[in-house]
Amino acid sequence: MKEYRLAAWPELKPPFDRTAYRRMLSDLSHRFMSVGMLIEASSLRRSEVRGFLDMLESRGLLIERDNDLVPDSQFWSLRPLGGWLRRAISSAPHGR
């Protein structure tokens, strides 16, 4: 599963100048987020979130990583604890 984080804050032009997109930028500036997490936080449709991420990526404003350690769906019912728990698990030293 891919996760994204904002590398630099862009100036938003229509159609991306709405509050939902600014909210996603804020979330992406603080932590890595998956498409599912962005959909939940913004209340936008998957196609709108993907379009926004594609625009950011085309401008070189996203940092991308693969995170296959913990499936997103296991933690949706634990929000906001799930987000913290997921970050703690993924940053734990390996080999313990």
Task: Please compute the mean of the pLDDT values over residues 43-70 and round it to a whole number.
Answer: 90
* Number of folded domains that form the chain: 1
pLDDT confidence of residue 71: 53
CATH number for position 19: 1.10.10.10
Evaluate if residue 4 carries a pLDDT over 70. yes
Q: Which two tokens stand for residue 48?
A: 């709108």
Domain range enclosing 6:
2-91
pLDDT confidence of residue 86: 65
The answer to whether residue 80 is domain-embedded is yes
- Helix spans in the chain (H): 19-30, 35-42, 46-58, 81-91
